[in-house]
Chain A
Amino acid sequence: MADIKIDDTVDITDVVCPVTFVKAKVALEELDDGQILAVKMNDGETVQNVPRSIKEEGHQILKLEDNEDGTYTLIVKKVGD
């Protein structure tokens, strides 16, 4: 898993629900099928809800990394155009 190539990164730590999800969704829309997005998000409600919401959109969640600074990075593979 260490060698996942990240195609784009989005930081959603500066926004609150529901903009968190919207910002991540917009970033995913910019990508092509199969490309990888890294989403940096805050601990708490965001990390408890956003990964699942992105999965519900049909994308594939590859990994969730704890940055140990109150943030997490979610690695998502875009599914579909």
Chain B
Amino acid sequence: MAVDYGTLKKGGFMRQKQKDNFSLRLAVVGGALTAENLAKIAEVAEKYGEGYVHLTSRQGVEIPFIKLKDIDAVKEELAEGGCRPGVCGPRVRTVTACQGNQICPSGNIDSYDISKKLDERYFGRELPHKFKFGVTGCRNNCLKAEENDVGIKGAMNVKWKKEACINCGLCAKVCRENAISINDGEVNVNYDKCNYCGRCVKSCPTDAWDATSAYELSFGGTFGNSIEKGYSPLPLVTSEEQLFRVTDAAIQFFADYANAGERFKFTIDRVGKDKLEEVLKEAYDG
């Protein structure tokens, strides 16, 4: 019987150089695996592989040296441990994320939660080429948002609360954009300079800021054969609902206009940034 490598690849089984051996890619969302997942992965790697795993560049796990004849058994056993195969090929790939504001003191958004929602919404969706989402919690950019087709970066929308302020001056001191000035006890934010990093909020010892989570989006990043940084044509996205409206629009633009085998960046270049921005702006405005 002929082996359908296309279907296997789509289901996360990556053909190895060694005949009838596959490296099984697992679905991992935002880099999180439970202890139960890990125990099962270890068991399967011992039993069907060569007793080790490869950690991929996108927070995934692959179990190399799975034999063609064992594929169904491997899938079944992994499912018992709550693991499912990942994907490869022209579709929405693993959504990467940092730990976000539930764990990290620098985080502006719950990156992990956003990555799970993106995964539920789009994972495996068939497209003209691969499509990657990455979510990073703040401007430290541990998850390199701009190298993704769509990158999401946590931001902080800030407004000074006079009544709680003790005028310690720390916010002005930590601001790297020199956007904060203090005159006669009045803290002024120059919003033309502010990059919404949230450092003023994080350093404030009296919670003298109204701070709301927001998102900065980038489009058209790619970091493979071509290296291009995603660009950010939109103002700050201020709600989750607005965020998903925009991501819906971006992915639909790619589905509608991309040629087969063409990354988002090159679709944008070919069709025109103005055209993309028109679509994004409409979604942004609702």
A and B interact physically: yes
Q: Give the B-binding residues of A (Cβ under 8 A).
A: 47-49, 51-52, 54-55, 61-64, 66, 74
Closest beta carbon of chain B to A36's beta carbon, Å: 14
**CA A61 – CA B168 in complex, angstroms?**
10
In the complex, number of A-B residue pairs with CB atoms less than 8 Å apart:
33
Chain A residue nearest to B206 in the complex (CB): A61
Interface size for B (C-beta < 8 A) is 12
Name the 5 nearest CB pairs between A and B, nearest first: A64-B168, A51-B205, A61-B205, A55-B205, A48-B174
**CB<8 Å pairs between A and B, sample of 26:** A47-B170, A47-B173, A48-B170, A48-B173, A48-B174, A48-B203, A49-B203, A51-B168, A51-B170, A51-B203, A51-B205, A52-B202, A52-B203, A52-B204, A52-B205, A54-B205, A55-B206, A55-B207, A61-B166, A61-B168, A64-B166, A64-B168, A64-B169, A64-B170, A66-B169, A74-B205
10 A-B pairs besides A64-B166, A64-B205, A66-B169 with CB distance below 8 A are A48-B173, A48-B174, A51-B203, A51-B205, A52-B204, A55-B205, A55-B207, A61-B166, A61-B168, A61-B206
Q: List residues 192-223 of chain B with CB under 8 A from any CB of chain A.
A: 202-207
Q: Are the C-beta atoms of A63 and B166 separated by less than 8 Å?
A: yes
Across-interface contacts of B207 in A (CB, < 8 A): 55
Give chain A nearest CB distance to B164 CB in angstroms: 11
CB closest chain-A residue, reference B166: A63
Alpha-carbon distance A51/B168, docked complex (angstroms)? 10
Contacts of A54 in B (CB 8 A): 205
Chain B, Cβ-Cβ closest to A62: B166
Residue of B nearest to A49 (CB): B203
Within B124-183, the residues touching A (CB, 8 Å) are 166, 168-170, 173-174
